[in-house]
Chain A
Amino acid sequence: MSQVIHQFFDVGFMLEHFGAVLEGFWLTIQLLVVAAVLSLAWGLLLALLRQLPGRKFLPVRFVTIAYIDVFRAIPLLLLIVLIATGIPSLTFIPKSIRIPEWFGKPDPFWYGTLALTITYGAYMAEVYRAGIEAVPQGQMEAARSLGMNHRKAMRHVIVPQAVGKVFAPMLNELIALMKDTTLVSVIALNEVVLVGQDIQSETFNSSALTLGALMFLVVILPMARLTDRLIARNQGRIARGSHIEVA
């Protein structure tokens, strides 16, 4: 038993390496924030493209749906490796883009951001879509009958309501995104897992990795509670009949 505690939960060891692990976790957080903002924006754009009306936009809808299907089906890990190993070889792209080191972040950070955004953009698009489709048809008709075009109706009437309806599933996706940032360790980004792994291979003690796990818990557990609370509140509102859900 004491061996288990020493191997995984050595408090002294954790304190000794706290600074290094926290530095790795800070990079994880930065990757999360950048990828989350980009995925949320890209996902919304995809969802809106998918909802464009009329025969005229059929090709746009088709391409969008194909994109969403394809990138939900490709493993994120494979995509990360593909991007990080492939793009640097494309010499027709200027070096500052091919091997990006923007804002003082190393190139794996940006390859990871790109892969996460491509994949999670597709996931987010599906979440937005669920929200948009949950807004009663009458809302669009009311907006259109008041002279708003499709774009204005989406912006002022449909999307604000849609986002409110999918807040909880959106948070769930963000939690999944945060955990998946660790996959970027395979292309040598010094985030929390790689830092912990390096310490482990030098000292044969896994406590640095456990410390990383604890850091995830500190951030994600409150998010999970918040999600549950939002779901409960939403259901309460529906039960009280305050959502104007009309048959």
Chain B
Amino acid sequence: MLKLEGIHKRFGNLEVLRGVDLDVAKGEVVCVLGPSGSGKSTLLRCVNLLEPPEQGEIFLEGHDICKGPGSGTGESSWELDFVRQRVGMVFQQFNLFPHKTVLENVTMAPEKVLDKPRSEVQAKATALLERVGLSDKLAQYPERLSGGQQQRVAIARALAMDPQVMLFDEVTSALDPELVKEVLDTMRELAAEGMTMLVVTHEMEFAKEVGDQVVFMDGGVIVEQGSPADVLDSPREERTKKFLGLVLER
């Protein structure tokens, strides 16, 4: 489904990704752990070409999507349309459109990008918002919603484009503790329905329970990867042990 080979990315003199390989099968949930600055978020942003990698290949459904994005911004290139319509992304800070209602947040992309008729788009958006438990908030503006509710709208918004892969970038990190569960529950349901997911997270329990694969990153490389039981319960690498020790100590 998604295959990364030798991904390199630098910002100025700082090399953030130093050769990352990763294989994500269809329907698989891969959780990416690691200290801040380890390159996790950059890796996600490479996958949907928000930050085109400088070196390496990304294959999505067998297509190499890194062929052309180096040309300037990759603006309007075939790869970009191909990727962005197949890969949904949810951000740490939600990034809902504050000038649009909840329903409009979800309908905007299908309507403006895919040119689908409004009635069809609205019916689908309503169904998606019902699925994330927000059918009573359709006409509200995002500022009226709690962080957890906003994040669920963001998930529905990404799903409205019928993505094949969903990227989650620390989506519970900006939430109050009591709001984390509702977002994780939504993600659990999504995983159970067979969505392919790449999840950057600090939620160890979630990784253990939902992840098919856990990847530990540090210093721009993958240090260790495997089943959640292997990586989280009996890590081989010192760096992984140290990180998990620090996280679980809390």
Q: Do A and B come from one complex?
A: yes
Cα-based distance from A144 to B73 in the complex (angstroms): 12
How big is chain B's contact interface, by range? Answer: 20 to 34
Per the bound structure, the CA–CA distance linking A161 and B84 in Å amounts to 23
Per-residue CB contact flags for chain B residues 89-120 toward chain A (1 = under 8 Å, else 0) read 10101111111000000001100111000000
List residues 49-65 of chain A with CB under 8 A from any CB of chain B.
53-56
Residue in A54, A143, A147, A243 whose beta carbon sits within 8 Å of that of B75 in the complex? A54
Residue of B with least CB distance to A152 = B112
Cα–Cα, bound, A99→B192 (Å): 73
Residues from 129 to 159 in B contacting A, C-beta threshold 8 Å: 142-143, 154, 157-158
A139 pairs with B95, CB closer than 8 A: yes
**Quick check: A150 and B75 within 8 Å, CB to CB?**
yes
Please list the 8 inter-chain residue pairs (A to B) with the smallest Cβ-Cβ separation, ordered nearest first. A54-B72, A142-B95, A146-B109, A54-B73, A138-B95, A147-B84, A145-B89, A242-B143
Interface residues of A in 35-73 (CB under 8 A from B): 53-56
A244 pairs with B113, CB closer than 8 A: no
Query: Which residue of chain B lies nearest to A58 when distances are taken between CB atoms in the complex?
Result: B72
Residues of chain A within 8 A of B76, CB atoms compared: 149
Give the dominant DSSP class at A's interface.
helix
**A136 neighbours in B (Cβ, 8 Å):** 93, 95
Other 13 A-B pairs with CB < 8 A, given A55-B72, A142-B89, A150-B75: A53-B75, A138-B93, A141-B91, A142-B91, A142-B96, A142-B154, A146-B108, A146-B109, A147-B114, A148-B112, A152-B113, A244-B98, A244-B143
Query: Which of B88, B95, B108 touches A141 (beta carbons < 8 Å)?
Result: B95
Interface residues on A, range: 20 to 34
A sample of 6 inter-chain contacts (CB < 8 A) reads A54-B73, A139-B95, A142-B154, A147-B114, A152-B113, A161-B97
Which residues, 53 to 91 on B, are CB-close (under 8 Å) to A? 72-73, 75-76, 80-81, 84-85, 87-89, 91
